[in-house]
Every structure is written in C-alpha cells, then in structure tokens.
C-alpha cells in the first residue's frame, strides 16, 4: 500500500510507502535526539539529516531555480567553478537555518517537516566569487530556470549536471532570446 504525501513540488517523490515514512520519521527523530542529549555538535546532526534526505531526493536535491548572469556566461565558456547557494534570495533560508529549524522546533509529523524541507531546498547557481561574496539577489537580477519537470540542472552527487546538449544549450538559447 502506498500513501500519498502532498509536496511543495508534486513530482518530487510524492509517493512513499508507510515503511518509508516510518524510516524517514525515525531518522528525523534520531537526529533531533542527538542534539537534545548533546551527543554531537549541531553541524554533525545537520549533515546526518541532510545526507539521508539528499539520498532520498537523489537528482532533485538542492534544486536550482535561478542562475546568475555571470554564472550563465561562465557555464557557456566551460568554467566549472560554479556552485549552488541556499538563502541568497530574500525569503529563502540558508541550509543550516532550514535544517536547524526542523530539528530544533517542536516535533512535527512527516508531511509537515518534509514539505518545509522541500520548500527550502531551492538553490541559485552562482560563480564561486559570487557565492563567497555574501550578496543577496533579487529574483529580477537572476535568470529563472525551467520548472523541475524539465529535469535540467539536476543534482549529480555534490554538484549539478551541466551538459552541453541540455543545460548549456538552454542557457545559450535563453540568453539569445533576451538579447533579441
């Protein structure tokens, strides 16, 4: 039997078995407990929680919604020094803040913390220098990427896919449309 759990982005693993929900909820509660008893530092609980969830989300983890113009031009030139950043658009949470709010707030049921995690797992692709600058961006200063169902800029381990015939082609076409 499969249970439908409503998600912020419907395509993101919106079907979990009761056993999967039980295991994910148990992981959430275990990470909370590690913090409560002071067995590990916050960063270790954060990483443990995020690594497991990233494994469940696979290619949909750290989903980019925007790319900076500098990163778009760097990608076209083949520059591999691009990074995804959480929290660089006002109103979006930094990874640490997001995860600690899940692990330190009152206990929630699976669907509540899962949806919160997904809503706040959206990133922006930046150059390394932009990422380390600490600058906040308005959405109007960035290029909006295609919706997740297009399966572009998906996660690939700790990075994201930047294929010539898919993501690079999309960037080139988008920039060409903007310039004409």
The Cα 150–Cα 59 span in angstroms is 12
Our CA angle for 9, 52, 111, nearest 5°, is: 40
pLDDT in tens, 20-54: 999 999 999 999 999 999 999 999 999 999 999 99
97: which 2 tokens?
């803040």
pLDDT in tens, 4-23: 344 444 444 456 789 999 99
pLDDT in tens, 50-63: 999 999 999 889 99
The Cα 161–Cα 2 span in angstroms is 31
Residue 30 domain boundaries: 3-179
157: which 2 tokens?
């381990």
Whole-model pTM? Answer: 0.84
- Count structural domains, the chain: 1
115: which 2 tokens?
């949806």
């Amino acid at each position: 039997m499969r249970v439908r759990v409503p998600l912020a982005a419907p395509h993101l693993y919106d079907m979990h078995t009761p056993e999967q929900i039980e295991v994910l909820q148990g992981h959430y509660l275990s990470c909370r407990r590690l913090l409560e008893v002071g067995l590990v530092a916050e960063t270790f609980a954060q990483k443990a929680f995020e690594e497991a969830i990233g494994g469940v989300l696979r290619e949909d983890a750290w989903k980019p919604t925007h790319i900076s113009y500098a990163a778009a031009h760097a990608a076209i030139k083949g520059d591999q020094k691009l990074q995804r950043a959480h929290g660089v658009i006002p109103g979006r949470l930094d990874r640490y803040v997001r995860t600690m709010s899940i692990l330190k707030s009152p206990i929630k049921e699976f669907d509540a913390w899962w949806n919160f995690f997904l809503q706040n797992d959206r990133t922006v692709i930046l150059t390394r220098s932009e990422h380390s600058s600490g600058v906040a961006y308005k959405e109007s200063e960035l290029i909006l990427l295609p919706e997740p169902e297009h399966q572009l800029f998906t996660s690939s381990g700790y990075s994201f896919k930047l294929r010539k015939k898919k993501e690079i082609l999309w960037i080139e076409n988008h920039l060409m449309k903007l310039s004409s």
